[in-house]
Amino acid sequence: MTPQKKIIIYLHGFRSNENGSKVGHIKNFFPECEVFGLKYEPHKPVDAAKAIKDIVEKIGAKNIKGFVGTSLGGFWARWAAVKHDLITVAINPSLAPYKTLKTGIYSKFDNDPSNEVNIEVTQEDLKAYPKYSVSIEEVNTSVLHIFALDDEILDSNVSLKLVGNRYPCAIFKTGGHRFENFERLEKSIKHRFYSTQK
């Protein structure tokens, strides 16, 4: 009988979706695993937390290898790591979205003319984030933080100070917020998943 494949869940960032190119890259990094992007709304804290909780309960934590999250998805990946004790990689994570995210109506990055759905961030959303924010003391060494120093959306210097030097970080000079040439992260991501036993 073939053992069930472990699952890696990708958590996309603000204005993105679960079908982005990063899922394909992670699949290439881990051909022995099942990889999929979670369909959720990272800008709606209550709904996002429920979606993550529900998928973990449905799959079973023992069947999940871990999470990879980018930007606002990195915020949720850190929360999932603490909540469910799972290995996590947070890439250019939004560590304090209640400070850096602004209210308003936004289009998605992949603005498909046939799917003109805008997303709205309300004051109530921003007020809800602190409930799901995790302190650096709560984030154990199973979480790898990856930062691009030329992040044009989130100040990497501020992020690095918030993370401190107590936890694993991989720092890249370039990549920007959306981390172009994502394949460069393969070594760092694979090391985190293979070197941490759960």
pLDDT means per 10 residues in the chain (198 residues)?
78 92 96 96 96 96 95 95 91 95 86 65 96 78 89 94 82 94 96 76
CB-based contact 194:100 (threshold 8 Å): no
**CATH code for the domain of 70:** 3.40.50.1820
Q: Which domain holds residue 188?
A: 7-95+133-195
- Does residue 125 belong to any structural domain of this protein? no
- Does residue 13 belong to any structural domain of this protein? yes
Strand ranges for the chain from DSSP E: 7-11, 34-37, 64-70, 87-91, 104-106, 119-121, 143-148, 169-172
- Does residue 1 belong to any structural domain of this protein? no
pTM for this prediction:
0.92
* Domains contained in the chain, number: 1
Q: What pLDDT score does 50 carry?
A: 97
- Does residue 77 belong to any structural domain of this protein? yes
Say how far apart CA 110 and CA 133 lie, in whole Å.
28
Q: What pLDDT score does 4 carry?
A: 81
- Does residue 158 belong to any structural domain of this protein? yes
